[in-house]
Amino acid sequence: MNKHVIDFLHTLNLYDYLLFGGIIFFFLFLLILSILLRHKQTLALMLVILSLITLLIAPIAGYIALHALMYKHSIKLTTVKDLEFTEALLIKGDINNSSNEIFKECTLYVGVSKISPMKPLNKVYPYLPFRRQTIVIQGPIAPKESKTFKLLIQPFQYRCNDL
């Protein structure tokens, strides 16, 4: 867990720090405003609740929105193959940088989930993968450029039961 936090802090850029600083400033501003309006208890209480909600939700939502806006990309899987003589799954694909920023490093989180003949379960299964793996693509990816990746998930077994 400690390693994940350190890796996360190393990947932050200037815009992330400005976002988090702005959120802390807005939180403190709402708290000070609620202290100044303490004689109007309902309004002061609403401002305290709003400041706590801002402190809890805004960093996550802001980080996701900022990175979705700045680091647009697309991933295209070219090959997903269950190997015959080993218990492994081979995944090949391309990652395309469609943003204006240079990607210095890409971390792909791959999850393998099953599919079901019942359609509602197919909407739930991607959120509950039974096998997960991470791949880090080193080297810069310039804007409008793509890079191929290959991932071997091992050991991998998938038994299909015919109904």
| Residues contacting residue 152 through CB under 8 Å, at least 6 positions apart | 88, 89, 90, 91
Residue-range domain boundaries for the chain: 2-70, 73-153
At 21 the pLDDT is 93
Q: Which residues of the chain have pLDDT under 70?
A: 156-163
| Residues contacting residue 135 through CB under 8 Å, at least 6 positions apart | 107, 108, 110, 149, 151
Tens of pLDDT along 25-58? 999 999 999 999 989 999 999 999 999 999 999 9
Global pTM? 0.65
